[in-house]
Amino acid sequence: MSISKVRLSASRRGDTGIGATIILMSLLLVSGSAASLIIDTNSDSAQQAEQTAQDALSQVSTGLEVVDMVGHYENGKITSLEVMVRLGQGSAPINLDHLLVKVMTTTSSIDHFLNSTSSETRFIARQVCLASNLPAWSDGIPPLIGQGDLVKIVVDIPPVAIGQSASIKLIPAQGYATLETFTVPDNIIGTVVSLR
C-alpha cells in the first residue's frame, strides 16, 4: 500500500489554513469551557470543605459544663435537681429553648424541655450570673447562655432513694452532650444535698 502525495493548487491552500484555524479555535473554546468547569468545581469543593470544617468545630466545641448539682430531699428520696451550668471553653452561645434535659433513673427516662406544656416534662432555667454581652432574658428575648454566664436549671425527677443512682444528660441542639451521674448518699442532713 502506498500513500500518494496530493498537491494542492495555490487557490486551495487558503481554504486549508482557514479550516485549521477554525478547528484550532473550537478546540481552544472547548478546553476553556472545561477549565472553567474544573475551576468552578474546585471553588465549590473548597467552600463545602470550609463549611464542613466549621460545622465539625462547632460540634466538638459547643456544649455545657456542669459546675454544681444539688438535690432536694423529701420523704427519703431526691425529687428534684438544681444544676448550675456554664458554657464549655470555646463554645458558641446556646439557646436554652433548644436544650433537651434527659433524666434517667434505673426505672425510667424522661425528656424535659424549657417550653414544655406539661409540668412533668418542663425544666426551669434562671440566669444566676450574666457576664457575657448577651441581653438578660425577658419576653421576646431568647434564653441564650454566653461565655461567663451561669445558669441554674431546675428539673423535677422521678424519686431516687438513698443508695440509688441516676443520671442527667444536657443535650443542646448543636454540640456535644454533657452527662452527669449521681448516687444519693446514705447520710443526708436537711432537705438539700450536694450531688457533685
- Average pLDDT in the chain: 84
Q: Cβ distance 134 to 146 under 8 Å?
A: yes
**What beta strand segments (E) does 64-149 contain?**
64-74, 77-87, 94-95, 100-104, 109-113, 123-129, 144-145
Coil, strand or helix at 8:
coil
Residue 57 cell numbers, joined = 468545630
Please say if the pLDDT value at position 2 is more than 70. no
pLDDT number for residue 56: 59
What residues does 189 pair with on adjacent strands?
none
Which sequence spans correspond to the domains of the chain? 11-61, 64-194
pLDDT number for residue 102: 96
72-130: pLDDT as tens digits: 998 889 999 999 999 988 888 999 999 999 999 999 999 999 988 998 899 999 999 88
pLDDT number for residue 55: 59
Q: What is the pTM of this model?
A: 0.69
pLDDT number for residue 88: 85
pLDDT number for residue 3: 67
Q: What percent of the chain has pLDDT over 70?
A: 85
Kindly report the CATH number that applies to the domain delimited by 64-194: 2.60.40.10
**CA-closest candidate to residue 114, choices 173, 52, 58:** 173
